Amino acid sequence: MHLQPRLILWVASGGVLGAAARIGVTHLSPAPAGFPLATFVVNVVGAFVLGLLLQGLSDAGPDQGRRRLARLWAGTGFCGAFTTYSSFAVDTDELLRAGQLGLALAYVAATLMLGAVATLAGVAAAGLRRRRSV
């Protein structure tokens, strides 16, 4: 699957939009008191969207056909490129290097905890939609 040129392009097209949206958020949001707010926001929002998407798709049926295409475009492509781990790691290291230990710890803890909460919220939201549609 990962070697099919059409699927690779398909993932890339979702990725272009996801990266563009992330870059857009970076422009909109400042870094108050050195806190990397933009990366924090895209990661938490993206975690929610991916939880909603993957749970919704797996509730709808097996991973094939249109469902697989939706997962690859919106999940692997868009959410994958909208969220990022490399900036999270480098920004944290730079806070540590600047002696901002408290801020670095707060950034890591907030990202990981709210990221997990957002993922769970997305999964739960997919469940609510399911119960309504029954």
Site membership for another protein, residue 123 (CB under 8 A): yes
User: What stretches of 9-93 adopt beta strand conformation (E)?
Assistant: none
Q: Using CB under 8 A, which of 47, 57, 71, 126 touches another protein?
A: 47
- Can you tell me whether residue 125 is helix, strand or coil? helix
Binding mask 84-113 for another protein (x = CB under 8 A): xxxxxxx-xxx--x----------x--xx-
| Residue among 92, 88, 87 nearest 102 (CA) | 92
Q: Are 115 and 45 in contact (CB under 8 A)?
A: no
Full DSSP string of 79-101: IHHHS-SHHHHHHHHHHHHTT-H
Residue 8 or 60: the one with the smaller Cβ distance to another protein is: 8
- By CB under 8 A, the count of residues binding another protein is 55
Residues in contact with another protein by the rule CB under 8 A: 1-3, 7-9, 11-20, 22-23, 26, 43, 46-47, 49-51, 54, 72, 75-77, 79-90, 92-94, 97, 108, 111-112, 115-116, 118-120, 123
